[in-house]
Structures are given as C-alpha cells and as structure tokens.
Amino acid sequence: LLRLKVWADVAKYRFRANPANRHHVCKVGPWAWSRHPNFAGEIGMWWGLFIAALPVCAASPAGYATAASPLFTMLVLLKGTGIPQAEGVNAARWYDGGDSQREYEDYFHSTPPLWPFPPALYKSFSGSAKLYLCFEFPGYAYEGSSRERERVSPV
C-alpha cells in the first residue's frame, strides 16, 4: 500500500508538471480509479501495520489499543484535513461553467473518493453503497454543481 501512495504522488506530480494539464482533472495511473489514491495508500498502510501486529496483541490485549492509529488516520483523512480540504467548497476552482466543470463533475460522479475501484462499476452503485462502502460523504460534493442542485431541488 505504500507503493500505491508513492505511485499516486508521482503520477500527480508528473501530471501537474505539464502546463497543458492546468485546467484538467488528473485521471492518470491510480487517479483513474480513485479520487484520492494517496489517502487510500496511507490508510491501508496503517491498517496493514495494525494487522501485522495482531499476534503481539494476542499476548497482551492492551495492544488492541493501537487500532487508534489507523482509526485516527481515517478520521483525519476522511473528515478533517484530507478529502474535505480537496473537495466540497474547495472544488470551486473547477466550476467555470465550461469544459473543466464538466470534466470534474463526470470524474467526481464516476470515481470513488478513496478505495480504487473501476469507474464503470462505481457509477452503478446506489447512494447507500457509495456512502457505506466507499465513504462518499455528502460534504464532498460541491454545492454549486449541477448534479448537487438537482439532488437538493424540491421539484
């Protein structure tokens, strides 16, 4: 999972290094299957370390308290300074009314926020499946998006 994190960071760096990509969504490498594969790698790495330590926990049940580390990492990245800082109100930069907005909205609605998953299958998930299996929290959507306006419209 550390490889996923590094691969995602390198792919994003290379994508952003090209000036022609300035107004485009990064959909290369792991970014084609996850909006935040670097965070998926980080969370997976901490859960992997916890699982690797489970034999030690069997000898000392107090060791199970170390689950606080991956849980804290998930909390920070899913609800704190991770995804919410990159999406939601901070996605306003994509809403220019043109091609960038359409590209971002398509990417947002077809790509899971965390766990890498084929976009074609993710699109078919119900809202509940997206929420509970993929952590697609409502706050990640930009309130100015056309789909968000349709979702909350009383008509």
Percent with pLDDT over 70 in the chain: 93
Please state, in angstroms and as integers, the Cα–Cα distance from residue 122 to each residue in 30, 68, 69, 90, following that order: 15, 29, 29, 23
Q: What is the mean pLDDT of residues 96-102?
A: 91
Residue 106 parent element (H or E): helix 99-110
- Please report which confidence band the pLDDT of residue 2 belongs to, taking 50, 70 and 90 as the band edges: confident
Distance of alpha carbon 155 from alpha carbon 153, whole angstroms: 5
Distance of alpha carbon 118 from alpha carbon 135, whole angstroms: 16
The pLDDT score that the predictor gives to residue 145 is 60
pLDDT at 134: 94
pLDDT digit string, tens, across residues 40-94: 999 999 999 999 999 988 888 888 999 999 999 999 999 999 999 999 888 998 9
The Cα–Cα gap between 38 and 34 comes to 9
First to last CA, the chain: 45
Helices 37-52/68-79 angle, 10° precision: 170
Amino acid letter, residue 148: E
